[in-house]
Chains A and B, each alone.
Chain A
Amino acid sequence: MSAVLTSQSRAKAEASALARAANDGLPDRANAHLDWLESEAIHILREVVAETRNPALLFSGGKDSIVLLRLAERAFRPDRFPFPLLHIDTGHNFPEVIAFRDARAAELGETLIVRSVQASIDAGRVVLRRPAESRNVHQTVTLLDAIQEHGFDALFGGARRDEEKARAKERILSHRDEFGQWDPKHQRPELWDLYNARLHPGEHFRAFPISNWTELDVWQYIAREKLAVPSIYFAHAREVVERHGLLVPVTPLTPPRAGEAVVRRSVRFRTVGDITCTCPVASTAATLDAILEETLATRLTERGATRMDDQTSDASMELRKKEGYF
């Protein structure tokens, strides 16, 4: 791949270089914390690529993995990414997000591997108790099968420690045993920025370059980098029912229950996971600035406001992660 920039991107790059040169190479204080987070993430991406044999990057089309892709560009361009993109598709994803996923991978010219929970169901690897049940938890089987199929020894993910209390305990480079399981009580100590990437055969790592980012950081970075995101992150009118304090979207997979009133509301999604367990929030935020304002003002956590699967018990995420979930 040629390192020579096109004339258009060169002009843009030069303008940007001039703006930075005026700053004498020192980080811009107004953006100091995003610069720091960005550089830490680039460092992690390069370290893991250098020290593992066959990594992949989990790309769902959601905002966190969109940020990961930009960080990978910053870490590796003008080279192609030294890893493929991988998505575990539950088959219950929002079509806007899947379309975005495919378009973004094509735009970057990178390889996208998709493995589907439906295929795991067809092959008898996953057995559903109810046809319409959430496939969120079943992703683990498909994910671990995909890791084995391709021999991946490291998976980059967009998980953040601020999302959830079990994730707050997770290492940046997190070890998985040969069963894909996480042992939170016996994690390797992680000192300074010195990541221990040694593995025995069959084991792998999950690597989280944006561990230290918050939801607000992610949106500020998306705004700063002018990154496109799927349309459902912005306010739109949608049919929903109110259930247990959540706004449940009305879809063929999640029809209203008997006695529930369907209402049309202005909503947006804060996370874009499996349709059967992801709820939008009431919102009129139609621009990035409005989303930033809303994120600053919100009184509910990202998952608390939107995820049915995390509310089962105090330890839902910890249990899923131990089994090999993202």
Chain B
Amino acid sequence: MGATLDTLRFTTAGSVDDGKSTLIGRLLYDAKSIFEDQLASIERTSTKRGGERVDLSLLTDGLTAEREQGITIDVAYRYFTSAKRRFIIADTPGHEQYTRNMVTGASTADLTVVLVDAAKGLQTQSRRHAIIASLLGIPHVVLAVNKMDAVGYSQSVFEAIRAEFTAFCRDLDIAELDFIPVSALEGDMVVERGENLGWYRGPTLLELLENSKAAEAAAGEFRFPVQRVALAKFGPQADTRGYQGRIESGRVAVGDRIAVLPSGHKARVQGIVTLDGALDAAAAPQSVTLLLDTQLDISRGDLFAHAGELPTVTHRLVANLAWMAREPLDVANGKPQRYLIKHTTQSVRALVEAIDFRLDVNTLARDTGVTTFQLNDIGRVRLKTQKPLAVDSYRANRATGSFILIDEATHQTVAAGMIQAEGENPNG
């Protein structure tokens, strides 16, 4: 009874026109994850609207405005469990004006399902979804060619879309790419294989989700941002400070020699404390309290790493930035703009000094002549921070390679940033 499963977080990008909500509805329905009262509720609404069959897309649109307009506005989170795995779906809107919501959903995803309407073929929107997946470092992309029923379940239609998308993704940084023909409306290849796609030998969508390796725990180098210093002291003499935080990647053991960044001071791990008692070792994603053998001046925002595996400590960042505010970023005439940068557990002031280029998220073309970012723009910027930050490239580490920018006057989150190492593939 107590047996539990691991979790895959995935996002679905697409619009109502692609059948995205229908696909999620189908997945939940056929995986028997829709409750009777939810079904009764959408049946009532479908009938009220004069529909002949139950509109499964109604399951995912939660806000009044979304149901009124028949669109998805914001990210909705759904939960379901199959025999093999537990899933968290971030259901995101597909239209260009909601790019920021797509970025939000993608920031925590292990996998993304990009939907394409078989009858329409690859659209600008499908390319944008793939580019965002690549920028946000989602390791596994599944292109679901939907509405196969509308093209007579034609293998050649599917193969043509597959070839075109494969070619497009060559310029992107996507570790694993899969293709699947589905009909969300009829249910073919979502959970059940159906009878119409006999030529397709690969897994169903659910099988793909169940077997994706994208959710494996963050390996890599040990990174521990200090969230808080405990008020209580530890140790036999009750004179040792405890540093509370979550291991974002890697593993740490008692006796390990670590560096505290940005100061660079060294110490050994003397203890790993949890409510259940002391541990000899701990690994991502555990939240623990760490004790050190040397008393150093350490506070929230400092980062622990193994002495031989240090992140970069720097004032200067080069980053891909997704702009999320209505007020544009404007660095015209070389005038830097000041924001708060929140990176791991600390916030410091930062200046956006220059825009290198804006990325056309539909074609990958770079526009180097711009000095402003509007809402939903994505591109490359240079920043200078008030205090040095201990950073990794986003490719190497999502936790220490990501940041947000906050407007100090409005308190709005205005941008999401992904730190680049010099010389990295600009599209990845």
List the B residue with the shortest CB-CB distance to A31: B4
Q: Mark A201-236, 1 if CB is under 8 A from B, else 0.
A: 000000000011010100010011000000000000
How far does the Cβ of A99 sit from chain B's closest Cβ, in whole Å?
26
Whether A27 and B286, one on each chain, are in contact in the complex, defined by CB atoms closer than 8 angstroms, is yes
User: Cα distance A289–B1 when bound, in Å?
Assistant: 7
Whether B276 and A20, one on each chain, are in contact in the complex, defined by CB atoms closer than 8 angstroms, is yes
Whether B233 and A3, one on each chain, are in contact in the complex, defined by CB atoms closer than 8 angstroms, is yes
Whether A77 and B275, one on each chain, are in contact in the complex, defined by CB atoms closer than 8 angstroms, is yes
Number of interface residues of B (CB under 8 A): 79
Question: Which residue of B2, B234, B251, B412 contacts A25 across the interface (Cβ within 8 Å)?
Answer: B251
List the A residue with the shortest CB-CB distance to B240: A3
List the B residue with the shortest CB-CB distance to A49: B228
Residues of B within 8 A of A315 (CB): 64
Whether A169 and B404, one on each chain, are in contact in the complex, defined by CB atoms closer than 8 angstroms, is no
Residues of A within 8 A of B217 (CB): 27
Whether A220 and B4, one on each chain, are in contact in the complex, defined by CB atoms closer than 8 angstroms, is yes
Residues of B within 8 A of A34 (CB): 4
User: Cα distance A212–B86 when bound, in Å?
Assistant: 11
Q: Are A189 and B324 CB-contacts (below 8 A) given A21-B279, A25-B281, A33-B7?
A: yes
Q: Mark B390-417, 1 if CB is under 8 A from A, else 0.
A: 0000000011001110101001110010
Q: Are A78 and B232 CB-contacts (below 8 A) given A214-B79, A301-B37?
A: yes
Whether B77 and A211, one on each chain, are in contact in the complex, defined by CB atoms closer than 8 angstroms, is yes
A93 interface contact, C-beta 8 A: no
Count of A-B contacts judged by CB separation below 8 Å: 205
Q: List 24 A-B contacts (CB under 8 A).
A: A3-B238, A27-B285, A31-B4, A42-B246, A50-B227, A74-B275, A76-B244, A78-B230, A162-B78, A188-B412, A189-B324, A189-B413, A189-B416, A190-B104, A191-B103, A191-B416, A192-B404, A211-B77, A212-B79, A299-B35, A300-B35, A301-B35, A301-B37, A318-B63
**8 tightest Cβ-Cβ pairs between the two chains A and B:** A13-B277, A25-B281, A304-B37, A165-B62, A198-B411, A42-B287, A16-B276, A17-B277
Given A31-B4, A39-B285, A300-B37, 4 more pairs with CB closer than 8 A: A3-B233, A162-B78, A166-B63, A189-B324
- Residues of chain A touching chain B, judged by Cβ–Cβ distance below 8 Å, are 1-5, 10, 12-14, 16-17, 20-21, 24-27, 29-36, 38-40, 42-43, 46-47, 49-50, 73-79, 161-162, 165-166, 168-169, 184-185, 187-194, 196, 198-200, 211-212, 214, 216, 220, 223-224, 289, 292-293, 298-301, 304-305, 314-315, 318
- Residues of chain B touching chain A, judged by Cβ–Cβ distance below 8 Å, are 1-7, 35-38, 41, 45, 62-65, 67, 73-79, 81, 86, 88, 100-101, 103-104, 107-108, 217, 227-228, 230-234, 238, 242, 244-246, 251, 253, 274-283, 285-287, 300, 324, 340, 342-343, 345, 398-399, 402-404, 406, 408, 411-413, 416
